[in-house]
Structure formats: structure tokens, C-alpha cells
Structure 1
Amino acid sequence: MLYNYSTKKILILGMGLTGISCINFFLKKGIVPKIIDESTCPIYLHKIPKIVKYKLGILDPQWILESDLIVISPGISSFKPILLKARLLGIEIVSDIELFSREVAVPIISITGTNGKSTVATMVTEIAKNTGYKVYLGGNIGFPVLHMLDQKADLYVIELSSFQLENTFTLKSKIAVVLNISEDHMNRYPKGFKQYKKIKLSIYNQADICIINFNQKIKNLNNNSKKWIDLKSKKSNYHVYYDKKQAIIYHKNQKILNMSETFLHGHHNYDNALVSLVISDAMEFPRNSIIETLKKFSTLPHRFTIIHNKKGICWINDSKSTNVNSTKVALDSIQSIGTIHLLLGGDSKSANFNILKDYFNKLKIIIYCFGQDRLYLSKICKEKSITIQTLQQAIILISQKAVSGDTVLLSPGCSSLDQFSSFEERGNIFIKLIKDII
């Protein structure tokens, strides 16, 4: 179906990279949109063409309500009262992913999940490249998806956040994957976890092949119009088996890959490799290319990466941990004979961290709570918690306490935006502090 935007009054919300890509998308079609940003000084203001009218500092109700089509950037909540009113009036609100979906003619692999989606999306992209596909990776990682339309491709791999899926309706994926769903972004969703889960699962709506990698029942699982692959059921042909501290991927009782032959560590990464294998098999990529790529694949930066291991103390950077479940996964992946020094903190996004209480009680652990929600986090396990203001103060304190056999883990479980510009900056500062102090 071809979409005609020429008669519509189009408004873009958000002046980040997504917003700029939307402007360029419409200008190439000979359409001049308007754009609004809630910031009074957005960093990409200089990239706005002079022909495009803009407003800063507020979501102007007049501009919103006089529009026919609103394209919303993922950083802006769909549940703002003015946007709810716009929907009631019949104004169409979509994401850049929706615009992309309407234009694409080649296969799409769509990947979402609370954790692990960047790693799996990158793994699959590398496997496809190694197979000879001209493939582009975008969405919540890499390029804004609309930029990829300018490239000739055999395949698109897109990583999708719940924010992007909120306003995506016609995405037709060859393969859609939900890696896991756990509590995250509860401050975004008025109806809580059920609403967040429903948005995540919407990735399956128009997919040909649906891969499920988590233990939750999904309605219409047996829908005959789709092919469902459930990796957590006993009937699944794909498994990771653990034998004498070894992790081995099997398919139909045939050994495929011993994870000791890779650079990957931790159960979560073994799961990521398993899902990547399943996606690649569904794409009918040659098995030798799949295994060769997985053997060479290195963990993405700031994802459970050992950055210093001297004097018997292991320092691990897992700054990408931005929700409570990712912290639990990281703790599950540690084999420490000594004390775990956990750096926990930032903006908790109204998540329930009390689910970690019993978990902490079983571990030999000291929890260093820092950042905006340090007081809330320190109450989870008071007798094992230390409250400090900053990451730097925590590193100094740990350097004085840690002894041989201990593990130091930065897995904050929170957004970094209270004290840092991103999880990348948080991780880089952690690395620099260790080099400077240790």
C-alpha cells in the first residue's frame, strides 16, 4: 500500500536524531513538516533546514490539534494529556518505525526485549554479513531506521524499544523476537507492567515467524497463520545445556557450539547466542557461517565486560544494566569466592527493587547505593548497603575494602540520566576511575 502524505499537515515531535531523520524523510517527498522540541536548546537545532518551522520548550497545543499526522520520537511519552486528546479527535500519531514499515519491500528481522536486544541484533547482523547479505542494523541501535531507506539492502535488522512500538502498527516482520519481559519504565506507563508487556508483544502482530524466549503464556500462541518457535518449552528443538561448568548449545540433540570456544560469558549471553542461532536458522543462513561468527563475537561495550582483573579482584562494567532484572542477571553470571561489591544506583524509573531483597540476603554482598534514588535502594537490604552520593565516592571506598577473591560489579539497574548523559558515559567514567584510582 502506498501512503500519500502530500495533503496532510505533518508535525514532528522531538528534535533528536529520530526527529531530524523524519524531517529529511518528508522533505525528500516534497513535503515540509513542522517540528517541536520540549527543550529550549536542543543540540541538533542547527540541523533544522530554514524552510522548516519549529517551536521550542513546550508541546504547543495549537500546532498539535491542527495537525493531521504527528510523528513522535521515542523520548516523548505517548500518554501526555494533549496527545491523548489528539487521538480522541482522530489525529494520527505514529513512530518513525511506522513510517519505515510503510516503505520497506525487503525482509525485516525485528528484535525487542527488556534486556539483550542490542547484543542479539548485532550478532544476527554480523552473521548475515558473514553469509553475504547486504544488511543494515538500525532502530534503537545504530542508524535511525529512516536513514536506512537510502541504502540498497537484502535485509534489515531493527532493534525496537517499547517506546518505539507504542506507535507502530503495520510492521510486517519476516521474523519477530521478544527476548524477555521484566519490569522496566514503569514511570512511563499509566497502567503499569501489563501495558508495558502488551506493547512489547505487539511486535508479533503481523510477523511471519515468531520466536519466544521467555516463560510466559501468550494468547493466540497456536495461531495457525504464524510459525511459533518457543525456546523455553520442553518441546523446543533448541537448548543450552550446562555440564561440569560448561555451556553447550544443542539443536535436536546435536551439539552445535561449546560456549567455551567463544568470547562470551554469562548465562544471559549464552541465551543471546542461542536466540541468534534460531533466528539465523529461520533465515536459512549456512550453519558454518553462524558458528564462525558466534565464535568471533565479542560482547558489546558496557555489557558485563571484565575491565580489570589484578591482585585477585575482578572489576566488571555492566553499565548497560538499566533495569532491576538486568542486575539480577549479572549477579547470576558471577562466580565469586569472595564478596561481591555491587554498584547500584541512578534513576530507578519507579521500578520495584524489593524483588531483589531475598536475593541479596543469600549472597555475600555489599551494595553501594549512589545517585538520585540511593536512599530508596539502600532500604532494600539495609544491613548490607552503604549510601554514597557519587560513583567516584563508591570506587574510592571499594578500593579500600576489596580483597583478593572479590568481584566489583557496576550493574546499576537504573537509568543513568540523573548524573550522566548516557549509560555509555557512566561506563566510561567507571573505567577511567578504576585506572586513576586502582
Structure 2
Amino acid sequence: MTGFGGVKSVVVVGLGMTGLSVVKHLLRQPEALIVKVIDTRETPPGQDQLPEHVELYSGGWQQDWLLEADLIVTNPGIALASHQLQPAIKKGTPVVGDIELFAWAVTAPVIAITGSNGKSTVTDLTGEMANAAGVKTAVGGNIGFAALDLLEQEAELYVLELSSFQLETTSSLKLKAAAFLNLSEDHMDRYQGMADYRQAKLRIFDNADVCIVNRDDKETYPDIKGKTVKSFGFDEGNYGCVIQNGVSYLAIDSTPIIAADELGLVGKHNIANSLVAIALLDAVGIKVASTLEILRTYNGLTHRCQVVADNKGIRWVNDSKATNVASTLAALSGLKIDGKLHLLVGGVGKGADFSELSPALHDLNLMMYCFGEDGDQFLSLDPRSQQCQTMDEAIENLFPTLAEGDMVMLSPACASFDQYANFMARGDAFTQLARQYSTES
């Protein structure tokens, strides 16, 4: 199915920003579609913005609607394996997501990025570089704007961040280039194991002209033979790094492009992120030379290794976007601190194994503060750990011990929804506390 042919009744499962974008898109279609919305929340966000003629069932499921629908458009947070969807699926009703609807409608070229970590930075950076090159580019998907809302912009290129959840319900998205950055344990409460999680991610390559993979992570390579594959890594091959006169450069096929120490982003993982952005733009014919100033000035996303306060020699770093172990490991890699690291971790662990953090913690001068629903799972990783109920309590406890040269870093390795609406709200709360405490004597 690649369009609305024969479809009269559509049920949208899940409201919020994405659900609203779906409803608006459906109502713009030339076909006179009957659109209904189901949301299990009693008062779903966005219900006040629904047109009056769109019927809403909230606070549970409405199986009759699902069974009567010609098409179901589901929120990425709802797994296809959900028993509520299964009767309609067994009946043969197509179940898609907003990205599949985007695929049916889009006419300009699209590039997309997935991976366990780094995809938001790569997506945002790629969009900034493309716009700097004079290509009118719209950026969204799993970051910023819902994909369907991007169609209302006049764009010559679309850059999408795609999660494994979104890819599960996407089958016909044609991509000029697609990148699979890395694979590490995440969402094990949704998937049967790492192989299942990987297969969801690999769907990004199904209709991609160029597949961009990580040379240091063979799990990112497509299983399908005959694909055009380009790779990135820290050696000289393809998109990589070269050393000339003692200086490390990012390079294309061993030709230097920009010195690593000129990048606005810091850290080894951000050299990789920059290489992917270069590879994606190269794949769609955008000259990298016209984007170098962005690489020099771009300083990253809010909530990702962001210094939010720096006073009296003490830095406060908001890395709330680190919602899994690999992301926190990336933040800790190569960290240079004159004093002590006060690390805040915890939240909802999503079934993850946190033991991988232990070696990285061992080499740091730190104190770890473990809060939230699964905070107690971190205590055994390092003897220099303290359990707290909340992030506020953790900061209240650590503040009297701070000294010049110290760093306070929120890099939780967990989701936020036990105590916050999302990782942004958690990061905003940390930022507010950081600025409050950093000005106190």
C-alpha cells in the first residue's frame, strides 16, 4: 500500500504533536476521509486543537473503530505487537506510521539518519550544513518538527531523524542517502533482543540509494546484498581521518577537508558525527567546501553535553539526552576535568544492563548520585555512589562539596518519564538548578 486508494475510514492511534500532524495531513487529502482518534490518556495533549468533526475516544481503546477502519495510523510509541492492534492486523488492515504517510506524499529528495546514539546531532548538523550551502532544507522526524508538518514548508531537501519505532511502520520511504550510526543496547523492554532491535533499524536501508555505515560497528551494515555502501570511521578509508604534519584532519578518501581541532563540536564521537554529515551531503551532491564554516561554529544540541553554567571554576553540563548506557559512555569518553566529576544518573532503565559503565567510572575522579525509579541499579557499579530520590535532592547533597575545577554532569543513561514529561523537561530542570546553585556563594 502506497497511498489512500480505496481508503474511506482512518483511525489515528495517539494524539500529541505527531498525532495532530497526522490528522491535519489526512484532512488535507483530496479524498473525503473519515478520521477518528484513539488515545489511552484521559486528557491527551492536543485534544483542544482537534477539529470539531474529528471524533476522539480517550482513556482507553475502542476496538470497534480499529476493526472497522480501512487504515490505522499509529503513534511510534505503540508497538505493532500490541495485543490491541493484533485483531485489526490479522484482519488485514494496514497499520502505518506518520513517516509512511510522509513517504506517500513527499516529492523532494530525502536523507535520513538512525542509530542508538548521535542521530539528533547528525540530523541537526546536516540540516544546518545543507542550508549553509544554499539548499533550502527542512529538518524533523524524531527531532523538532513532525515529518508531516515539514511538508508545509517549501523545501528542496528533507533531513529526517528516524527511530527504530518509526521504522517499524515504514516500508516505502525512498532515500537518496541513509545513515545507520551505531547499535547499542536500548529499548530492550520493547524488543525481543538485540537482533530484533537491529532489524528494525536496518529498515532504513530498504529503499536507500546510498547506505552509510560505521566501519567500527559491523552491525550497521545492511544484510541486503548489492547495496551501494559508504563508510565512516577514524582510519583513512572513505570518510575518515588522516594525519598530516602531526595534525588530524577529517577527510574524504584520504583528502583532508578540515582539521579536527577546528570543529565547533568537541569529543571523538563528534568527529564521527561530523564525518556522517559530510558523507550524507556528499551523497546528494552538496559541496562540502561550502559548509565548512558551519562545522567550525556548530556547538551542538540543547540537552547534549551542553555547558549550562560555568562559575567559580565549576562547570554544570546538561546531557539529559543521554537516555541509554552508550550515550553516557560517549559523554564520559575522553572527559578532561581538573577536579572531581559529580555524575547524576538514573530514571527509567528500559531493561538495560548498566554494568558497561563500571570500567569508565573506575578511571574517573568522581562521585555518582543515583536517583529515580531505577537509580538503585547504579549503586553496585562504583563504591563512590549515593542514592537519592530526586535530582533536586542529589544537587542539594553535592553542592556543599563543590570546589574549583569540579564538573556537575547530568548524563542519566535512562529515560525520564518516571519524574519528568520527557528528557527536555529533565534537562530544563537541571539547567534551572545549575544556574540557581552556581550563583550562590
The answer to whether the superposition gives a TM-score over 0.5 is yes
The Cα offsets for residues 193-217 of structure 1, whole Å up to 9 and x where unpaired, read as: 2211110111001100000025124
1:421 aligns with 2:421: yes
Alignment of 1:23-422 (within 5 A): 23-29=23-29, 30-189=32-191, 191-213=192-214, 214-217=216-219, 223-224=225-226, 226-232=227-233, 236-240=237-241, 248-381=249-382, 383-422=383-422
Amino acid at match of 1:50: E
Give, in whole Å, the separation in 1 of the partners of 2:57 and 2:334. Answer: 48
Find the residue that maps to 2:33 and give its secondary structure: coil
Give, in whole Å, the separation in 2 of the partners of 1:431 and 1:220. Answer: 40
CA-atom RMSD in angstroms: 2.2
Amino acid at match of 2:367: I
Pick closer, same or farther for the CA change 1:297–1:110 going to 2, 3 Å: same
Pick closer, same or farther for the CA change 1:245–1:113 going to 2, 3 Å: farther
Give, in whole Å, the separation in 1 of the partners of 2:52 and 2:431. Answer: 42
Find the residue that maps to 1:33 and give its secondary structure: strand
Cα offset for 1:220?
5.5
Give, in whole Å, the separation in 2 of the partners of 1:333 and 1:371. Answer: 27
Pick closer, same or farther for the CA change 1:84–1:389 going to 2, 3 Å: same
The Cα offsets for residues 314-370 of structure 1, whole Å up to 9 and x where unpaired, read as: 321111111111011100041124322110011111111122223323333221001
Contact 1:172 1:207 in 2 (8 A): yes
Pick closer, same or farther for the CA change 1:245–1:81 going to 2, 3 Å: farther
Percent of paired sites with the same residue: 38
Deviates more, 1:296-305 or 1:144-153: 144-153
Contact 2:347 2:412 in 1 (8 A): yes
Contact 2:7 2:71 in 1 (8 A): no
Give, in whole Å, the separation in 2 of the partners of 1:218 and 1:186. Answer: 18
The Cα offsets for residues 79-123 of structure 1, whole Å up to 9 and x where unpaired, read as: 211213322221110001001101222211011111111111111
TM-score (norm 1): 0.93
Contact 1:120 1:275 in 2 (8 A): yes
Amino acid at match of 1:69: L
Pick closer, same or farther for the CA change 1:276–1:13 going to 2, 3 Å: same
Give, in whole Å, the separation in 1 of the partners of 2:348 and 2:247. Answer: 36
| Structure 1: 5+ residue stretches without partners | none
Pick closer, same or farther for the CA change 1:39–1:245 going to 2, 3 Å: farther
Amino acid at match of 2:14: G
| Count of aligned residue pairs for this structure pair | 435
Cα offset for 1:218?
5.8
Pick closer, same or farther for the CA change 1:272–1:391 going to 2, 3 Å: same
Give, in whole Å, the separation in 1 of the partners of 2:259 and 2:109. Answer: 30
The Cα offsets for residues 46-87 of structure 1, whole Å up to 9 and x where unpaired, read as: 111111122111122222122221100112232211213322
Contact 1:247 1:270 in 2 (8 A): no
Deviates more, 1:22-31 or 1:39-48: 22-31
Give, in whole Å, the separation in 2 of the partners of 1:145 and 1:5. Answer: 22
Give, in whole Å, the separation in 2 of the partners of 1:245 and 1:314. Answer: 31
Deviates more, 1:283-292 or 1:227-236: 227-236
Find the residue that maps to 1:379 and give its secondary structure: helix
Pick closer, same or farther for the CA change 1:61–1:153 going to 2, 3 Å: same
Pick closer, same or farther for the CA change 1:397–1:245 going to 2, 3 Å: farther
Give, in whole Å, the separation in 2 of the partners of 1:124 and 1:232. Answer: 17
Give, in whole Å, the separation in 2 of the partners of 1:180 and 1:219. Answer: 10
Partner of 1:14: 14
Contact 2:420 2:426 in 1 (8 A): yes
Partner of 2:437: 437
Give, in whole Å, the separation in 2 of the partners of 1:245 and 1:409. Answer: 32
Give, in whole Å, the separation in 1 of the partners of 2:242 and 2:411. Answer: 26
Pick closer, same or farther for the CA change 1:348–1:309 going to 2, 3 Å: same
Cα offset for 1:275?
0.9
TM-score (norm 2): 0.93
Deviates more, 1:81-90 or 1:54-63: 81-90
Pick closer, same or farther for the CA change 1:77–1:355 going to 2, 3 Å: same
Pick closer, same or farther for the CA change 1:243–1:253 going to 2, 3 Å: closer
Cα offset for 1:2?
6.4
Amino acid at match of 1:131: A
Deviates more, 1:325-334 or 1:4-13: 4-13
Give, in whole Å, the separation in 2 of the partners of 1:128 and 1:404. Answer: 41
Give, in whole Å, the separation in 2 of the partners of 1:247 and 1:95. Answer: 43
Pick closer, same or farther for the CA change 1:245–1:36 going to 2, 3 Å: farther
The Cα offsets for residues 143-173 of structure 1, whole Å up to 9 and x where unpaired, read as: 2111222333211111111111111111110
Pick closer, same or farther for the CA change 1:234–1:67 going to 2, 3 Å: same
Cα offset for 1:245?
10
Amino acid at match of 1:180: N
Pick closer, same or farther for the CA change 1:3–1:333 going to 2, 3 Å: same
Find the residue that maps to 1:208 and give its secondary structure: strand
Give, in whole Å, the separation in 1 of the partners of 2:219 and 2:117. Answer: 19
Contact 1:32 1:51 in 2 (8 A): no
Cα offset for 1:219?
6.7
| Structure 2: 5+ residue stretches without partners | none
